[in-house]
Amino acid sequence: MTIYNLYIFDRNCSCLYYKEWTRQKEAGIPREEEFKLMYGMIFSLKSLISRLSIISAKEGLVGYTASNYKLHYFETPTGFKFVMNTDTSVGNVQDVLRHIYARIFVEYVVRNPVARPGEHVDSELFAAKLDDYIQDLSFK
Amino acid sequence: MSRQGRPQDTRKVSGELFSLTYGALVAQLVRDYEKDEEVNQQLDKMGYNIGVRLIEDFFARSQQGRCHDFAQAADVLTKVGFKMFLGVVPTVANWSAKGDEFSLILDQNPLVDFVELPETHQGLLYSNIICGVIRGALEMVQLEVKVWFVQDQLRGSDSTEIRVKFLKKLEDAVPAGED
């Protein structure tokens, strides 16, 4: 599997972390703008999905497939949003995103007393652990 | 110091060490502040700051999903949350008629194992940190609540009772330009 990039948002619309592994083409807009558009799209998709849903549920969005990439989405009950883009051959990666949240994000960001909630994640340890995990996956 | 493998770590800290450490913390606060009310307030604040992070640890360890009503949240709070972090399961009781308020009855409170309140500190809510933790943790799952002690075994009551009142549901921030 090829993982293109990963966005982590909190519930206040801010992008806490962004990392790309394989990305050949830029979106042609400033990164900040891209984050805003991404969050906006997720937000709108979620609200449309819950409107169309046959039962009343808050969860619904797990991702979408475009012709040349696949977007995966995972949200925690506390409102952290994990968005990952991969190639289209990749199956369900909810467990991968959950792992990133539970074993890497919580461990190295939430439990880090220096990291203040809602601020951009600068921890090198977090970046290194995340990278290790993703590199490991890419070889499978 | 290696942090490898800690997420799945089920190592236990001795309950006594935990109780005594907490006792030392409260004792220090009592020395630092003049009035019991101020200590209570500080404990609540500290608890809040713990709660907003503890909730993430809670979700990382349990497979718990979103709760659909307040009663379910109360259930999870006691049976999963208290069990995980304090090792006791309080009883949920005394629901208000509207279903927006309930009490947690603790028969056993691990924080107060070695504690007696001195005569001079009868206003001290020794375990007030729990109120803060509950408030902080629930706020992160979009529930704004008010939490307070109704009675405390330390102050001569039969059991410890914490009251939780639902105030409002918080919504995710809406991105600029969306309605």
Q: Do B60 and A102 touch (CB under 8 A)?
A: yes
Taking the CA of residue A40 and the nearest CA in chain B, the distance in Å comes to 6
Q: Is the pLDDT of residue B2 over 70?
A: no
Q: What interface predicted TM-score (ipTM) does this complex get?
A: 0.84
How far apart CA A104 and CA A118 sit, in angstroms, is 17
**Hey, what amino acid is at A128?**
A
Minimum distance, in Å, between the CA of residue B120 and any CA atom of chain A: 35
* pLDDT band at residue B155 using 50, 70 and 90 as cut-offs: confident
Nearest to B178 among A40, A101, A102 (CB): A40
Question: Residues 148-167, chain B: which have Cβ within 8 Å of A?
Answer: none
pLDDT at site A53: 83
Closest CA of chain B from A36, distance in Å: 8
Domain boundaries, chain B: 15-115+124-169
Q: What is the pLDDT, as a whole number, of residue A140?
A: 55
| A–B interface: beta-carbon pairs under 8 A | 62
The residue type found at B120 is: T
What is the per-residue pLDDT for A71?
95
Contact A28, B36 (CB under 8 A): no
What's the DSSP call for residue B121?
G
Q: Give CA–CA dist A33/B113, Å, rounded.
A: 55
Residue B127 has pLDDT above 90, yes or no: yes
Confidence of residue B3 (pLDDT cuts 50, 70, 90): very low
CA distance B76 to chain A (A): 13
Write out the DSSP string of A10-65.
-TTS-EEEEEESS--S--SS-HHHHHHHHHHHHHHHHHHHHHH-SS--S----EEE
pLDDT band at B21 (very low <50, low <70, confident <90, very high): very high
Chain A residue numbers with beta carbons less than 8 Å from the beta carbon of B52 are 117
- Chain A within 8 Å of B9 (Cβ-Cβ)? no
CA dist., res. B57 & res. B2, Å (int): 19
Neighbours of A33 (CB within 10 A): 11
Which residue on chain A is closest to B5 by alpha carbon?
A103
- With contact defined as beta carbons under 8 Å apart, do B84 and B58 qualify? yes
- Record: contact A36-B56, CB cut-off 8 A: no
What integer is the mean pLDDT of B33-45? 94
* Helices (runs of H) and strands (runs of E) counted in chain B: 5, 4
* Residues of chain A by 3-state class (helix, strand, coil), percent to 5: 40, 20, 40
Strands of A63-65's sheet in order across: A15-20, A3-9, A81-86, A70-75, A63-65
All residues at 6 or more sequence positions from A134 whose CB lies less than 8 Å from its CB, including other chains: A3, A6, A21
CB contact under 8 A, B142 and A102: no
Structural domains in chain A, CATH included, are 3-138 (3.30.450.70)
| Whether B176 contacts chain A with CB within 8 A | yes
Beta-carbon separation of B59 and A79 below 8 A:
no
- Pair B31, B112: CB distance under 8 Å: no
Interface of A with B (CB under 8 A): 11-13, 36, 39-40, 43-44, 58-59, 76-79, 101-103, 105-108, 110-111, 117
Q: How much is the mean pLDDT over chain B?
A: 88
| Cα–Cα distance measured from residue A121 to residue A111, given in angstroms and rounded to the nearest whole number | 12
Facing residue for A77 by CB, picked from B7, B59, B176: B59
Give the mean pLDDT of A25-52: 89
Q: What is the pLDDT of residues A48-106, one digit of tens each?
A: 888 888 877 667 889 999 999 999 999 999 989 999 999 999 888 999 999 999 999 99
Average pLDDT of span B35-39? 94
pLDDT cut 90: percent of chain B above it: 64
- For the segment B55-83, the average pLDDT, to the nearest whole number, is 91
A77 vs B9, residue with greater confidence: A77
CA distance to partner chain B, nearest, from residue A66 (Å)? 24
CATH class of B15-115+124-169: alpha beta
